[in-house]
Amino acid sequence: MASTLQVQDRRIYTDRYLPEEPIRASEDIEQEVYTFMSVVKNIATRGHNIRYRVAAAAGWRCSFTLLWDKTIISRQEMETVAIDAGKLVGLADGRSLATGASRF
């Protein structure tokens, strides 16, 4: 499927905006946008790193245009793949490519 897929938009925006001051998830998880912090282990060095990500509460939206070969993958199949990918792996920067476990 990946060999037939192209994202047409150069930039994709969501309907959320960053707050003036960062809000950590532990302070107020009810905010629409907040900073998520996690400690990750570097397998190569066995050290630990703190990772910060901008996170959005459930309900955010965005729109973008996909181009693919419909003789290989139907519109319904593509919609199902997009929904499942968002639920199981995540979208955008920080998504897991190798381990199958991702928070972002």
DSSP class of 82: H
Q: By the 8 A CB rule, do 35 and 53 touch?
A: yes
> Whole-prediction pTM value?
0.56
Name the amino acid, one letter, at 4: T
Confidence (pLDDT) at 71: 92
Between 104 and 38, residue with greater pLDDT: 38
Give the pLDDT confidence of 19-42 residue by residue, as tens digits.
777 776 665 567 788 887 788 888
Count the Cβ atoms, other than its own, within 10 Å of residue 13.
Answer: 11
Helices (H), ranges, 1-104:
75-88
Per-residue model confidence as pLDDT tens digits over 48-82: 988 887 778 778 888 889 999 999 999 999 999 88
Domain borders along the chain are 1-15+61-103, 17-56
Most confident of 12-21, 23-32, 83-92: 12-21
Query: What's the rounded Cα separation, in Å, for the pair 97 and 78?
Result: 19
